[in-house]
Structure formats: C-alpha cells, structure tokens
Chain A
Amino acid sequence: MNTCCLGLRCVAVLLATAGVATAVPMIGATAVAQAPASAPAAASMTCAVDPVHSMALFRVHHLGAGQFWGRFNEVTGSFSFEPGKAEGMNFDISISTESVDSGNEDLDKHLRSPDFFAAKDFPKMTFRSTGAKKTGERSYELMGELTMRGVTKPVTASLEFCGMADMGRGPKAGFEAQFTIKRSEFGVNYGVEKGAIGDEVRVIVGLEGGPKK
C-alpha cells in the first residue's frame, strides 16, 4: 500500500517537474515578447514588411444579412517606429489588389474586375501615414492617406502594437491596424444602392516585419 502510494507520489513529482521544465521556456518567451511594451525607450527601428506573415482582411455587410470576410494575401512596404512613442512613427504599406482572396475563384475574378477593385487598372492600393497619436500603453491613432482605384482619401486607423521579439530569426515587430472606409468614396459602388453589399468596409491589416536591409 505504502509502496503504491510512494510510487504514485513519485510519478506526480516527476510530472510536476516536467511541467515546470516545459513551462519555464514558454514563460521566458512570453516575457521576451511582452518586454518592449513595458521596456524603456529603445532605438528607432525601420522594418520591411514580411509578406508571408502580413495580410489585410476586409469585412462587408452582404445582402443585409451576414458579414462577408475576404483577404489580400500580398502586403508589402515598410514601417518605422520607436517603441512606446508616436513621434517618428511612419507606415508606407502597399497591398496587391490582384491578391484578393475570398476562398472562391469565381468570386475572386469578380472582385478583381472593375466592378470592384479594377485590379488591372490599379494593381496596388496604398496607405501612407501622415501622423500618429498615442492613445494607450500599446495603442495609437494613426492618420494617413489611403489610395484605392486612383482616389486618395484621408483615413484614421486605430493601431495596436502587438509585440517585438527575437526568436532566433532576427528581431521582429508586429502591428495591427483597423479602420473603416466608405467604398463608394473610392469609386467601388457595385451593389451599394440597395444595400445589397454594404458601403462601409472594415479593414484589418496585420503587419509583421524585420529590420530593413
């Protein structure tokens, strides 16, 4: 009986030790990732957007019912920032309209046509920041100009600093921006009149980048 209890206790101790052993590096990694948010001022960093780990999502009301989500797979450009500071923050982002992806090839063809993005006339849409304001510990208000289908309009995005870390592949920094536009203001008016496809489009851009070489 005692032997059995001792054996179980040993197994429990071993499991607990193994748990701690695996948990320690994870906690360590999280701490590294979180560090810059609370870290004191660091040097300014200019990053090239990592096109594999960056994307833009859009959401629009469809047929007065559900929210339709699509994405752009090719996001390129650069951004520069100084952790914790709004001053000097600069974003120059380019999105390939050819890379629109709804998960349905026929719908993608229609989205690329002049009914929507006119991808052959305007293969890129761009965002260039004009200023930034700090609104929280990790959040900012990013002002800039969005150019789509040859029309440039000012937009204000809410920007979140997601983190900065070096996990053996060089330092990486990440941001997520959200803003809403009226697509008809950019000449994308297909289906707007009767509200079949909503006019307001919510855009979420997830960016990850490493130091620009």
Chain B
Amino acid sequence: MEADLVLRAVVLPAAVTVIVLAVLAAVAGRWARRSPVRPASARFSWLPLAAALPVVLSYAQQEGAAGLSWPPAVAFGWTWVALSLAALSTIALAATSAVVQSVLPAFLALSVVVPPGYADPGGRLVAAAIVGAASFAASSGRGARESAGASEHVAWWLVFGIASAMALLSGFAKLSFMIASLSAAASMLALLSPWAPRLRPDGASTAASACALGVLCFLGLGYDESGFPWWSWALLACAPAGLAVRGFAWGSPRARALAVIAVPTLLALVALVLALGWTGALARLGQPADPGLDVYGLRTEP
C-alpha cells in the first residue's frame, strides 16, 4: 500500500512537474533565441510552478475527482488552491521588488487556507508575516555571489523531506505525501539543473517554495494530533531563511554552496528534533527498532 502511494502521490507528481517545466524551459529558450532584443520580461520564469504543481497532482491522486469538488469541504482541500495562488502570483510579480514578490504571495496564500482553530484572522496574519519574512530572507543575498543552482534545489529537497517526516509523525499521512512530492521534484531539479540553466532557482521560485512550505506547516499545525508545539512548526517554516547564507562574503564558492544546503537543513532538523523531544517521541525513536511492530507500534509478527 505504502509503495503504491509513494509512486502515485509522490514520484509521479514530481516527475510530471519536472517534465512540464523542462518543456516550458525549452520553449522559453527557443523564444529568447529568436528575439532580436532582450525582452523586458527576461526575468520571467515558470520555475515557481515546482512549488505548486506537485502538490496539485499529489492532492488529485490521493483525493480523486471528489476531492476536487468546489468549494472544498475541508480546510485541507484548500491547500492546492493556496499553493497555486502563491506560485502564480510569484510568477506575475517577477518584475517587482523582492519584498513584494516574497510577502504578497504569503498573504494571498494564507488568506485562503483556514486550518482548524484558526478561523480568527489574527493567527493567520501572524502566520503570513512569519512566512513572508522567511520567504524574503530566503530570496535575499541572490546576485553577484550566487552559488551553483543545484545546491539550493538540494536544500529544498532536504527541507521538504524533513517537513514531510514531521507531517507524517504528526499523524497526517496525506499532507506528508504532498510535501514529499515537493521534495521529490526538488531532487529531480537538482539533478537536471547543472545541464539546464533555465531550471536553476531564481528569486520567484525561492519565494514560491518558501511560501509553499509555510502554508503546509500552517496546515500541519492546524491538524496536528501529536501535540507538536506551535513554535516547532514556525521554526520549520522559517528554515528557508537559512538560504540567505548564500550572500555572505566568506569562503570559496563550494563552501558557500555547502552552507546553502547545510544551514536550512539544520534549521529544519532542529525543528523536528525539538518537536519530537517536546512530545517525548524522541525517546521512543531512540529505542532499538522492533521489526515485529508496524507503523502504529502494533505487533504484526508472533
């Protein structure tokens, strides 16, 4: 069952997304070569779709046609809408400043998603402010000192992977699979980007990914059944801010590339470890694995 779900709800959405992006990049490249002058929209990129399309496809795979009915019956059903809105707005805001491109999509996305217990707009405004700030920090430092694109994709791969594990441990498997599809798409982009410059991350894609992570963490918090503290979800949503390390002057390009991977991953890992430590689950994880127990700790072998 799990292998089938991973294939349908994680690998397939990621693969389709990367194929779509590769085709769009190829078409955009052909248009750019034909154009005699560099167009004003040269900064335009479809890459932010990598932060939404896997989730849309994963959601559709898991929920079927009934899950796409309008309006969605559960708060979780708005996830794909919020992430699509965030990705499309970052694309549309490509020509604006980094602040606008980071903060506005966060507020747009979090105005759509209302997790259980957050009907009051105050909590959502705070969440949007945190996500917007993390998104802006993640996008900052890009420019002259920009490191190799693959390292940022690797960072997203790991951060989304850790977020997926946290969602699973909080008791919400479908959310976990949706986040895992983003992780899988980032891993595929990391492998392709050294040979495909148009698939390397830019400000818009970074903002969209940070926004997606924030929305998914907010949903994780709303549906949390494991008692993970709110600040562990907030810290996880802030992990992309670690990408700002790319702008620092120290070290060789390789050291900076490694730092771009290590700092956000470490922040995400700290969030997960603190959440598990808070609930006492960390102590249980430290115990020797018992192959006779299933995922719920039920004995499956005599």
Contact = CB atoms under 8 A, between A and B. Distances in A.
Interface of A: 63, 104, 106-107, 109-110, 112-115, 118, 120-122, 149-151, 184, 187, 189-191, 193-194, 196-197
A120 B116 contact: yes
Given A106-B171, A114-B76, 12 more contacts: A104-B296, A104-B297, A107-B298, A109-B171, A109-B226, A112-B171, A114-B174, A149-B74, A150-B74, A151-B73, A187-B67, A187-B73
Interface of B: 1, 4, 8, 62-64, 66-67, 73-76, 116-117, 171-175, 222-223, 225-226, 295-298
Contacts of A189: 62-64, 66-67
Contacts of A149: 73-74
Given A107-B298, A120-B223, A196-B1, A113 B66 contact: no
A122 B73 CA distance: 10
Nearest to B222: A120
- If over half of A's interface residues share one DSSP class (helix, strand or loop), that class is named, otherwise mixed; here it is loop
Contacts of A63: 1
A114 B172 contact: yes
Contacts of B297: 104, 106
Nearest to A149: B73
A190 B117 CA distance: 24
Contact of B174 (A106, A107, A115, A120): A115
A113 B75 contact: no
B220 to A, nearest CB: 11
Contact of B296 (A106, A113, A197): A106
B74 A121 contact: yes
Contacts of A193: 4, 8
Contacts of A113: 171-174, 223, 225
A114 B4 CA distance: 20
Given A106-B296, A113-B225, A190 B73 contact: no
A184 B65 CA distance: 11
25 contacts: A63-B1, A104-B297, A104-B298, A106-B171, A110-B225, A113-B172, A113-B174, A113-B225, A114-B74, A114-B76, A114-B172, A115-B172, A118-B76, A121-B74, A122-B74, A149-B74, A150-B74, A187-B63, A187-B67, A187-B73, A189-B62, A190-B62, A190-B173, A196-B1, A197-B1
B226 to A, nearest CB: 6
Contacts of A121: 73-76, 116
Contact of A194 (B4, B62, B173): B4
Given A149-B73, A187-B66, A110 B173 contact: yes
Contacts of B8: 193
Contacts of A114: 74, 76, 172, 174-175, 223
A76 to B, nearest CB: 21
Contacts of B225: 109-110, 112-113
Contacts of A112: 171, 225
Contacts of A122: 74
- List the 4 closest A-B pairs by CB distance, nearest first: A120-B116, A109-B171, A196-B1, A109-B225
A120 B172 contact: no
A165 B283 CA distance: 52
A121 B225 CA distance: 13
A120 B117 contact: yes
Given A115-B173, A149-B73, A187-B73, A110 B296 contact: yes
A122 B75 CA distance: 11
Contacts of B226: 109
Given A104-B298, A109-B225, A120-B117, A190 B174 contact: yes
A115 B175 CA distance: 9
A150 B172 contact: no
A70 B74 CA distance: 24
Given A120-B116, A121-B116, A193-B4, A107 B74 contact: no
A150 B77 CA distance: 13
Contacts of A194: 1, 4
B7 to A, nearest CB: 11
A191 B173 CA distance: 11
A194 B5 CA distance: 10
